Every structure is written in C-alpha cells, then in structure tokens.
Structure 1
Amino acid sequence: MQIKDMRGVLLCSASAMALALSAPVAKAQDASEEDGFLGLLVLGNNKREVQTDTAAPETVINAEEIQDRQASSIAELIDTVPGVALVNSGTPTGAGINIRGHGADGTYGANQKVQIQIDGASVGSEELYRIGTQLTTDPELYREVSVIRGTVGSFEYGSGVIGGVVRLDTINASDLTDGQVGLSGRQTLGYHGNSNARISSTILGWQPTENLEFLFNYTRREQDDYTDGNGDVVSDTASEVSSLLLKGKYSFGDNAAQSLTLSFNESTSDEKDVPYDAFAGNAAFGNVDRLTETKSAVLEYAYNPLGNDLVDLTATLSYADQYIEQEQVSGTPFGIQDADHRYETTKLTVKNSALFQAFGVKHTLRAGAEILRKERLNAASAPGGTDQRLALFAIDELDFDNGLTVTPALRYERQEIEASTDGNNIRAGETFNNSALMGGISARYAFQNGFAVFGSVAYTAGFPIIDDVDYADYPTLMTQTEKAVTHEIGASFDRVGVFASDDVVMAKVNLWQTRLWDYTSSGSSFAEFDRQDTKGVEIEASYSHMSGFYVDMNANISSGHWTKFRSGTNERYRERYDGMPPTNLALTLGKKFNEQLDVSWEGAFFKRFEDTPGFAVHNLRASYDIDTGFLKEAKLRVGVDNLFDKQYQTHLATRPAPGRNIKVSLTAAF
C-alpha cells in the first residue's frame, strides 16, 4: 500500500466516521439534568459495539451476536472482524485463524504469533504440519469472544504476539439465572440446510444459594459434506463435534469479596477416512482416521474487597490438553500419517489491578507474574520436548483527567526449552535458555465533542519453539528470538444526537505498520530472510436510531512484502507477502420492530487478489422473540448465507466456500 493510498483511505475513513454506522450504550439527556439527574440509559440496536474508549484495536463479540450468527466454529464467528481471515472454514479442523497476516498459513494451522485463550488457559497455537487449527470447540459454550489485533494490547497475555489475541470466556450460571436462587435452562435446536447440519445445545444453570452456582452445557454438531455455489459437493467437509462445559463458582467472605471458580471444557471431533492434509486435501498424503480432543481445566481465585481500590486480585491455574490420534487408512506412507500428537500446557497466572492517584495522575496498574510449562509428545512431524517459561508484566493506565490517557506496558519473559528425544541433529536432554524484555506505550486524547485520537508503538519477541530442534541449524534457531515493532495511529468518534436527537454514531479507524526481523519460522531456510514489512488500515463504524434502524460496517485494507537475500550473496530484493488478509468491506443494514423482530441484510465485498477474483456475498438474518407467557425466552432465528448461491473462494482458502445455506434455530429458556 502506498502512502498516497493510505491518505485516501484516511479521507474516506473520516467521511465514514461522519456517516458512520452500530451502537453502544448511550446516555439520553433529560430535562431534569440541571437538578443532578444524569440521564436514562439507552441500549443501542447494533449487533456489535465499536470499542471507541481504548487505543487498543479490539473487537468484542457478545452472547447475542454469537447466537444470531449461528457460526459452526469460532473461526467462522470471528471472520467478520477487520484484519481477520480464515484459511478455509466449514470444518472444525480444516480452518485456521489468520490475523494481520500471521497465524494460519496453509501449511500450519496456527503459530504463537496468534494467541488463543479459553478462560485464561492457553490453547490451539501449536505448529502441526497440515493439520489445521486445534481450536476444536463450539461457539455455544461462550458468553463473549474478544479479538485484540496486533501487539499493543497483548503484553498481559503472552510474548511474540504479532497477529493478535483471541480470548474466549465461557458462559456462567448467573447468565441464565440472573443471579437469582433457582434453576434455569436453555435448549437450542438448529439446522443448516446446505450441509444437513444438526445442532443441539443444552445449558442448565443452578444457584442453590446466592453465593453458589453451577453450570452444565452439552452441545453436539453433526454435518455432511457441503455443496459450493456450483452445486458440487465439496468432499471431506463432513464432521461430528461434541462439546462439554462444567463450571462452578463459590463466593464467600465479607460482601462476597472472594470467589473460587472451577471450569472444565472438553470438545471432541471424530473424522473417518479424511485427507491427512486438513487444508487442501492433498491426495499425496493419503487419508487417515483422526480423533481430536481438546480439554482445559481452570481454577480461579478472585479477591476484590469493597472499599479497597488497591486490591483486585486473581490467581488462575489452568491446564490444557490437546490430543490428536491418527491412523492411516490409504495412500503412500510418509511416516507422518500415523503420528499421534499431544501437547499439555500448565499455567499459573497471578495478577492484581490497583487504582490509585500519584503526582496528580490517576493510575490503573495491572501487574502480575506467570509460570508456564508445555510438554509435547514426540511425533514424526513434530519433535517432542518441554518449554518452560517465567514472565512478569505490568500495564499502567495513566489518566491525566484532561482527556489524555497514556498507557505504558512491559513484559519480561525467560524460557528454558528442552528436547525430549534424539532428533536428526540433537540429543535428548539438550537445553536452551532465552530471555527478552518487551513492551510498548499507547496514548489517547479525547476531545469534548466525541472525537478522540490515539497512537502506539510496541515491541515484542517470539521465542524458539520445540519444532525447531529438528533442523540442522538448530543452534541458531533455538537461541534466536523473532523480533517485531508495530506502530499504530488512529481516531475514533462516539456521540449521541448526530443526525437526530435520539441516534448514536460510533466509528474507529486504525492505521498500523509492523516490521519483523530475525525471522526463524521458515525453519532451515531462515537465512534467506532479512525482514518482513506489513501495514494496513482497519475501520469499524456503526449507527443506531431509537426507531430500531441500525447499520454496522467494518473494512480492512492491508499489504506486505519480504526483503530477502539472493542466494549466496548479500544482495537484497523485495517479494510480495501473500499471507495477508484480502481487502474487504462488510456492511449490515437492520431494523428492530417492537423489540421482538430483528431483520438485517449483510453484505461482504472482497477485492480481487492476484489470481483470486473479487466477489460479493449477501446474507439475510431474522430473529423473532416468541411470547409464550410461561417461558423466560423463546426465540426463532432464521438466516440465509450466500443468498444468491455465489461460487467463490477467498484468498488463503484452498477449497470453495459453501453455496446458499439456510440456517434455522429455535431457543427456549426457562
């Protein structure tokens, strides 16, 4: 992207912010304000709220949007976030999450440049050859999913985060019981016509007392092979996934200031006679029977005493176990098809948030420590070993009480990595030690008229991974960190009463640029890479009117290139980086009628990327609240994805997208 192109985007973005299009919580002013009344709280109608109150590029998908979208996987749920692209979709293990050009790349389904956490447990970021994502879990288990793009908001969660962080928070029993003593439940039945998908989700929440709550959730999805826009069956896209969530919370102490929460999350995918290559279905690797099990257990202690702003403590002990069992059923044996993969991650995170004032500045200081141990089973395509880390982090939000907020962040991390078995060039028990100090700073200034400007710079370091012990150049690969600096600048707008007294406009535009060097993710060919430069623009905007009309919009424009060395020389040359998300625009127009019926149209427009043609896809959604008189909630949801049965394939994908797909679900809650 040229600088002049970025200027054009900025001008367009400013116009978009003036016309902008979602709505958050807004304050409606009242005539009695002069008597001290601050106004009535009015909720917007939009599917998604734009996060205008932070300099971090973050998008939050709440429980209502999770249910309305009727996505088959977490990857499909977040693909409307600007800067997020999927390496395929349609199957739980064949999809991968790519954020700002990092993460899934078609060869590996994940890497540490995109961190994924479920209730704080680190999952699904192993580089397994052609197996795809390990995030085998169902969207129905979650109350909120947030996507932090880039580095600046990541220091609390991990190192080497260049793409971003995906955080998933599971449902609480109190989400069903509304905090009241008693038993509540929700049953959802769904059907997707294209793939003959059948979905059942059962959730029970029980509060025997005000301070004790339990939750049970079991969700099962079964689908056949789907058809593309030409009506052709896309083979090997059938799947069966079952997910289980058990959760309990006990609050105690003065004013119930302390709590213990224990959760267990398990998802299983069982595939028979499917290509080993979960991305492209490459016949050269043959077919396998593949069982994927993802488990996580989290124990959290929280202490937030009333009247003490210096203490808001959480201690989280988590255990994540990802297991993939494979058995070759056809094809030429390469020694990788029968490989079983397992990696277990145990992590303890202790952090505290303190509010205080010093030198005339208000501080919100989040500081903590983290201990992590990852154990990986040795396999033909994935060497085994252990990865142990100790990290300290601190993020201090300084509020100068004049509209200016400055947030410095630091993270120190130390690693000891050990090979567990003899490899091609290494002996079992050999260890490597690495450490790095990383951090960044962001600043935001809010004007009185609803506008705000912000900017940030952040540096991170990615540590060696167990995979790299198997290369001849392992002494370098195991002692060199990947390094990246990201600069961001942007503006936001958030105001009530722009075009009418009872509307809300929100918008946010973010320009970013990242430089990555000391690149080792290419394994043995790392020496040919000098650096990688990527940049882009992300836009989110929304409009909501009290009549029920709403508009949501987001867009992404990004590009990247490599600087490489010509073989055997120090001469450098540039080469385009093809792993970037495509340029695209998503637009939603909707209207709510009498708080019962919500109807919307959604358009997704993608620009041509080299050999991948541009295309437009249209979706329709409707939800209707049924008044039964005896149920807490009864809701019918109907959606049509790819309304005009468009034949298309997104950039980074290796198989055609589904054709027209009618989705229906019925939810009943008591």
Structure 2
Amino acid sequence: MTFRFNRSTRSTRAHLYASTAALITIGAASGAFAQDAEDSYLGTIVLGEGKRAVQTDTAVPVTVVDREEIEDRQAGTVAELIDTVPGVTLVNGTTAAGSGINIRGYGANSTYGTDGKVLVQIDGATKGSEELYRIGSQLYTDPFLYREIEVLRGSVGSFEYGSGVFGGVVRLETIDASDMTRGEVGFVGRQTLEFSTNGDGLASSTTLAWQPDTQFEVLFNYTRRTLGVRTDGDGNPINPDAGDIDDPSGLLKAKYTFGAGNDQFVEFSYSKTQQEQFDVPYDQFGTTAFGNVDRYIENEVATLRYNYNPADRAWLNVTAELLYSDELVESEAIAAPNPLLDADNRYRTTTLRVKNEALFVTGTVDHTLRTGIEFATRDRTDATAGSAPGGTKDSVAVYAVDEMRIGDRWTITPALRYESQKITQDPINGNASYDKDALMGGVSVLYAFDSGWSVFGSASYTENLTIIDDLDDPVYIGQSEKGESFEIGVAYDAVDVFRSGDSLALKVNYYNDHLTDLTTYVGRPAINTVEGVDREGIELEAAYAMANGYYLDANAHVSKGTATLATGARTDWVQNPQDNIRLTLGRKFSDELDLSWELEAAKRYDEGGAVSPGYGVHNLRATYVPQQGVLEGTTMRFGVENLFDQTYQPRLSTRNATGRTFKVTLSTTF
C-alpha cells in the first residue's frame, strides 16, 4: 500500500499552521475576538484536573468523556456531549431525530444522517450506518444512560471495531450498578430533575442500584425527556413544524461475578429509547418540502457478555458477547400514500463476538495482544419498497492488535483486520446478491522522553465494503471505498511545570487522509459526483490545572480538504467543517463547588463559494455539591448556554443554533 500527501500538501500545511497560531493568539485575546467573531476563531482545550484528561500515553487520537463531564454539560442529546471533541462537528445537534455526527469531515451531512464512515457502538453493539435519506443520525438515546463516551478519530484505532472507519468511532458504555454502590453491599437510588428554559425542556431520570452481596449487582434506570420548539438568538422558532418531543428511555443491567477468586462474570444489559412525532416534515433537515408524516422511532440494544480472566494465566482474558440492536424509523404519510414518506426503515443487527487479551513477554518486549472474531447479521427491512432498499448483510471478521512496549521508551502497535461479507437484496426489491472481502490494517508508533515529551505517528489503510444501497447499481456493486491515512504528532504530560503542584498535559496531532473509489456521493447535484477526497488537519487538546483549584481546558481543530470529481476537476470538499476552538477556564473549591466559563468559537468559512460566518459563544456552568448537613448527597447544577443570545448557524447545519438557554439540574442520592 502507498501512503501519500495530496497535491496541495505544502500550501495546505502552511494554512494549517497559520490557523493554529491564530487560534492560540485569539485564545489570549478572547475579548477582542468576541467583538469581531466573523474574522476570528477559537477551539477546545482539556486539562488534567479540569473537565477532561488528555490521553497522552497513546498514538491513537482518542478522547474520553466520563460520567462527571456528562452530568456537568447538562446535554439534551448524546451528540451535544461529543461536539466538545476536536474534529467533531454536529449537523443540527440540538435534536436527537434531526441531528448527525460528523468527524473530520465525514459522517452526517444535509442529505444523509450518516455516510457510513463514522461507526457508533452502544455497549459493543454496532448501530445502523446505511444512507437513510433526509433523516438524522441513528443515535436515538439519552445521555443519562451512559457512564462513558469514547471518541476515536481517524482509522488507526478502529480495527477492533469495524471496517471503513474514515471519520472515527463513537463508543458508549452504559452505567453500572457498582458506579453507584461503589462495590459495597446495599441499595442506592438517585433521582435527577433537569429544566431548560429554551423550549421548556424537562427531564426526569430515576436510577436504582442494588448489590445484595459482593458478587451480584443490578441497576434500573427510567428517563423521560420532553422538549418544545426552541428559538434562535433572534427569538425565531428553529423548527416550528417538528412539534414537541417526548422521549422515554430505560436501562436494565445486571452482573454476576463468580469462580475462583471471582475470575468470571456474566453481564446482561438492555436499553430502549422511543420517540413519537405527529404531522411533522419528512425531511428532518428542513431543506426540502417532501410532505408531512407521523413518525415513530425506537432504538433497542441488548447485550449478554461472559468474561473469564484467571489470575494465574496472563495470556487468557477471554470475553464472549452476544449483541442485538434494533432500530426502527416508522413513517406514515399524512396525505396520499408515497413510497418515500411511507418507507418504514428497520435495522436489526445480531453479533456474536469472541475476543481475548493476552499479556506476555518476548525478550525485551512486553506485549498486550488483543485478538477477536465476530459474526454479524444485519437485516434492513423496507416494507414499502421506498427510498431505502431492504436487504441482509452477513459478515465475518477477525482482527489482531498487538501493543508492544519496549522499555520505557517505545510503544509500537501493529493492527490487522480481515472482513468478508455477503449482501442480499430484500425479495420485494429483487434477488441480487454480492460477496466482498478486504484486508486492512495499520501501525502506530510512540516514543517517550524522560522530560515528559513524546512523539508519535501512524499509517493505516481501510475499506468501506459495498452497502445494501448499491445492490442494484451495476457500476458500484463491485467497488468498495478505500482510505489511506497518515498521522504524526507530539504530546507532553508533566507535573510541577510552572509552579509546585500544577499539571500540564497537551497533545497535538496532524492527519492526512486520501480517499478513493467513493460511491457514497453519487448523484448529489450540490457537489456533482465525488470519486475521491483529500483532507488534512491539526487537532489540539490541552489541560492545565493548579493546586489552588484553577484549571484551563482547551481543544481546537483546523482542517482543509478537496474533492476530486468524476470529470477530474478538483474543488473544496463540501463537508469541510469550520476551524474551531473551545476554551474553558474554571476553578474548583475542594469537592464542593466548581465554577467555569467556556468559549466556543469558529472561524469564518469562505471556500468554494460557500460562506459560513464565524461566531463566538459563551457558556457558564456552576456545580454545587454540599459535603455535609441536610443537603449532603445532593448535587445542584446551573448553566447558561449562549449567554449573549447570539444568532448563528454552524457550518454543515441546516438550521440556526439555539439561543440563550438557562439550565437547572437537581440530583439527590438516597
């Protein structure tokens, strides 16, 4: 395989470095920036004792949003939680049904809720990723259900999870009973109420955790979230035709630990989210008037997991998983029957996965070898033969990832994945079928210095195998999309840097992607037919904290991309996001009070005739956790988003963002 830069690498890299320097300068002069948002720009930063830790010990560009941050952000959707990750852009991120996730310029767009290049997993179960026309992301779920969200950007860290991951992987893990009981025998309950002024949003979450002994634990959660029509900074309704949203969600999870030294466990989890809307536009992006529908959405995930990890065999830590995901988007046209508006799309995915993590030593090399095999069947039904053709995808995949540590300096991680699939058309659409397989992989290298600095790089190749949508296309049925990626970066992690007791962590990563043989963007007039995409960018994450409680979190993303059309012409990639930065300054007063100010900003985008004005938005957050007295066990959160009520529309979105919103959250543990 060949790894290369695109033809405009030198000029683009100069643009990237200049933009990064501009971001840092702007961060130091945020007051001036706010006065001229269209000509300036800002992004995101992360500090050790602040909101989020920087993952400096790996060459993989990964960000982890933990439970504390999930609660702190008071997000109404999961998508709103991860837009703080560098490289992540939301398409209409304020609503679950109409929002989508875009990572590094791939994923959701104004035509599809996903383009199959961003992978989403809930408790290991893969969610649907076909091209569902004019409907948002398949990530219909509630933030209260989760304990951790991990976002892997690019393809180098994706080979354990799937193929064709050009943008990245979003992995969500649901809460455990032991998160609340802390492993102690007893019963713990938690009740949370949340209110937001814009749209009169109201959420209630009840969680019950019981641990009758040290081996068994069970958890139940019921969440209900309602939201009316939100308004932008000018007071105009953002999506008045969509009506109110009422989303009930639930989670049941149980775990039993047994065996010699409790070296085995069996775990079961089941989660479900529903959403119902009446007489709303079919097009959730609000770009085309196809007509109105009654829509019902349901998302179910069930997992059964067994693990065996004997203490006397380091080479054996085996996990067997049976995973089931059911996603239903049911629509019924209000007027006369219509093949598009009456298309009832359902994705049912069953996966059997067996994986092992082995620890062993060869000479001076310590190995952590992760291997696995998985069998998956995805049924995509289309009861009306509408715009999204039905069919079945059967696949088998094997992978191996070997993290090799040589002394305290080198970490070399080669990864391979082989995947074979067969797709078969639904009988009501035809009888076509097609087989395809691919071998893909990559390698990452990290070298650590004694000073706290480290340098890293990676190269990877992946393929997005033929999807069900292409079964009736004689040209694209045999063509899988291919992507090569090269990354290089530097990280720093140390304590007592500027003064005693402080800590500083930062990570800067440059990536260069080259995609060819694309089939996703065919027949879209706005961008003609795209056969290839070249993108490169710089991502920054940083976190600084002092012993007196002050902290600074930041992250930024600067990128540029071009598309190669079928005619051979090159143009700006239509899904290029805006350069952006997010800066958080706060202070923690012991464990009782946390106050923070956040600036999220984007640089004006003006490329290829497309213009997206720049903006700077300020958010305030306060968390109060009494440590004694009658309020002990209670958490009070107060937030103000879009403090100055600005009207703006982020690039890739089709609607204005939400105006000023006050949020209040009360939680009590009993």
- What is the TM-score with the length of structure 2 in the denominator? 0.92
CA contact (8 A) 1:92 1:239 kept: no
Segments of 5+ residues of structure 1 without an aligned counterpart are: 25-43, 567-571
Counterpart-to-counterpart distance in 1, 2:657 and 2:280: 18
CA contact (8 A) 2:97 2:136 kept: yes
CA contact (8 A) 1:172 1:247 kept: yes
CA contact (8 A) 1:325 1:339 kept: yes
Question: Greater shift after overlay, 538-547 or 629-638?
Answer: 629-638
- Call closer, same or farther: CA 1:21–1:461 in 2, change over 3 Å: closer
CA contact (8 A) 1:152 1:456 kept: yes
Which residue of structure 1 lines up, in the alignment, with residue 442 of structure 2?
440
Identity across aligned pairs (percent)? Answer: 48
Counterpart-to-counterpart distance in 2, 1:307 and 1:528: 57
Q: String of CA shifts for 1:204-232, please: whole Å, max 9, x gaps.
A: 10011110000000111001101110011
CA contact (8 A) 1:461 1:483 kept: yes
Segments of 5+ residues of structure 2 without an aligned counterpart are: 1-10, 29-43
Counterpart-to-counterpart distance in 2, 1:8 and 1:592: 34
Please give the root-mean-square deviation of Cα atoms over the aligned residues, in Å: 2.1
Q: Do residues 242 (structure 1) and 241 (structure 2) align?
A: no
SS across alignment from 1:490: strand
CA contact (8 A) 1:285 1:334 kept: no
Counterpart-to-counterpart distance in 2, 1:253 and 1:17: 54
Q: Which amino acid aligns with 1:661?
A: T
CA contact (8 A) 2:533 2:564 kept: yes
Which residue of structure 2 lines up, in the alignment, with residue 270 of structure 1?
276
| Post-superposition offset of 1:125 | 2.0
| Post-superposition offset of 1:648 | 0.5
Counterpart-to-counterpart distance in 2, 1:395 and 1:222: 43
Q: Which amino acid aligns with 1:607?
A: K
Which residue of structure 1 lines up, in the alignment, with residue 5 of structure 2?
none
Q: Do residues 582 (structure 1) and 588 (structure 2) align?
A: no
Counterpart-to-counterpart distance in 2, 1:47 and 1:606: 21
Counterpart-to-counterpart distance in 1, 2:640 and 2:306: 43
Counterpart-to-counterpart distance in 2, 1:21 and 1:579: 24
Counterpart-to-counterpart distance in 1, 2:277 and 2:254: 32
Counterpart-to-counterpart distance in 2, 1:437 and 1:453: 28
CA contact (8 A) 1:454 1:489 kept: yes
Q: String of CA shifts for 1:149-193, please: whole Å, max 9, x gaps.
A: 000000000000000000000000000100011100111000000
CA contact (8 A) 1:407 1:443 kept: yes
- Call closer, same or farther: CA 1:11–1:191 in 2, change over 3 Å: closer
| Post-superposition offset of 1:15 | 9.8
Which residue of structure 2 lines up, in the alignment, with residue 111 of structure 1?
115
Which residue of structure 2 lines up, in the alignment, with residue 559 of structure 1?
560
| Post-superposition offset of 1:281 | 5.3
Q: Do residues 288 (structure 1) and 293 (structure 2) align?
A: yes
From 464, 468, 471, give the equivalent of 2:470.
Answer: 468
Which residue of structure 2 lines up, in the alignment, with residue 415 of structure 1?
421
- Residue correspondence of structure 1 range 627-638 to structure 2 within 5 A: 627=627, 629=629, 633-638=633-638
Which residue of structure 2 lines up, in the alignment, with residue 506 of structure 1?
505
SS across alignment from 1:648: coil
| Post-superposition offset of 1:108 | 0.6
Which residue of structure 2 lines up, in the alignment, with residue 159 of structure 1?
163
SS across alignment from 2:508: strand
| Post-superposition offset of 1:327 | 1.3
- Residue correspondence of structure 1 range 582-601 to structure 2 within 5 A: 582-601=578-597
- Residue correspondence of structure 1 range 291-306 to structure 2 within 5 A: 291-306=296-311
CA contact (8 A) 2:16 2:559 kept: no
From 583, 600, 609, give the equivalent of 2:605.
Answer: 609
SS across alignment from 2:403: strand
Q: Do residues 655 (structure 1) and 655 (structure 2) align?
A: yes
Q: How many residues are treated as equivalent by the alignment?
A: 636
Question: Greater shift after overlay, 238-247 or 504-513?
Answer: 238-247
Q: Which amino acid aligns with 1:144?
A: E
| Post-superposition offset of 1:95 | 0.2
- Residue correspondence of structure 1 range 214-229 to structure 2 within 5 A: 214-229=218-233
Which residue of structure 2 lines up, in the alignment, with residue 355 of structure 1?
359
Counterpart-to-counterpart distance in 1, 2:228 and 2:532: 43
Q: String of CA shifts for 1:437-481, please: whole Å, max 9, x gaps.
A: 0000000000000000000000000011111124xxx23322211
CA contact (8 A) 1:296 1:319 kept: yes
Q: Do residues 387 (structure 1) and 402 (structure 2) align?
A: no
CA contact (8 A) 1:13 1:539 kept: no
Q: String of CA shifts for 1:2-43, please: whole Å, max 9, x gaps.
A: 22223446777999999x96443xxxxxxxxxxxxxxxxxxx
CA contact (8 A) 1:477 1:523 kept: no
- Residue correspondence of structure 1 range 41-440 to structure 2 within 5 A: 44=49, 46-234=50-238, 235=240, 236=242, 238-280=244-286, 282=288, 284-330=289-335, 334-378=338-382, 379-423=385-429, 427-428=430-431, 430-440=432-442
Counterpart-to-counterpart distance in 2, 1:596 and 1:83: 33
| Post-superposition offset of 1:656 | 0.8
Counterpart-to-counterpart distance in 2, 1:16 and 1:658: 24
Counterpart-to-counterpart distance in 2, 1:281 and 1:532: 25
SS across alignment from 1:144: strand
| Post-superposition offset of 1:501 | 1.2
Q: Which amino acid aligns with 2:514?
A: R
Q: Which amino acid aligns with 2:228?
A: D
Counterpart-to-counterpart distance in 1, 2:531 and 2:140: 35
SS across alignment from 1:226: coil
Which residue of structure 2 lines up, in the alignment, with residue 542 of structure 1?
543
Counterpart-to-counterpart distance in 1, 2:531 and 2:88: 26
| Post-superposition offset of 1:239 | 1.1
Higher relative contact order (CA 8 A, sep 6+): 2
Q: Do residues 459 (structure 1) and 461 (structure 2) align?
A: yes
Q: Which amino acid aligns with 1:297?
A: A
Counterpart-to-counterpart distance in 1, 2:105 and 2:294: 31
Counterpart-to-counterpart distance in 2, 1:655 and 1:529: 25
Counterpart-to-counterpart distance in 2, 1:16 and 1:409: 39
Counterpart-to-counterpart distance in 1, 2:163 and 2:244: 36
| Post-superposition offset of 1:126 | 2.9
CA contact (8 A) 1:17 1:541 kept: no
Counterpart-to-counterpart distance in 2, 1:11 and 1:221: 42
Q: Which amino acid aligns with 1:565?
A: A
SS across alignment from 1:209: coil
Which residue of structure 2 lines up, in the alignment, with residue 482 of structure 1?
481
CA contact (8 A) 2:20 2:558 kept: no
- What is the TM-score with the length of structure 1 in the denominator? 0.92
Counterpart-to-counterpart distance in 2, 1:269 and 1:239: 7
| Post-superposition offset of 1:565 | 3.3
CA contact (8 A) 1:22 1:505 kept: no
Which residue of structure 2 lines up, in the alignment, with residue 27 of structure 1?
none
Counterpart-to-counterpart distance in 2, 1:579 and 1:555: 18
Question: Greater shift after overlay, 355-364 or 511-520?
Answer: 355-364
Counterpart-to-counterpart distance in 2, 1:75 and 1:527: 29
Counterpart-to-counterpart distance in 1, 2:167 and 2:225: 29
Counterpart-to-counterpart distance in 1, 2:237 and 2:26: 40
Counterpart-to-counterpart distance in 1, 2:528 and 2:286: 28
CA contact (8 A) 1:21 1:544 kept: no
Which residue of structure 2 lines up, in the alignment, with residue 36 of structure 1?
none
Which residue of structure 2 lines up, in the alignment, with residue 41 of structure 1?
none
SS across alignment from 2:438: strand
| Post-superposition offset of 1:631 | 6.8
Q: String of CA shifts for 1:280-319, please: whole Å, max 9, x gaps.
A: 253x211111110000100000111113211111111100
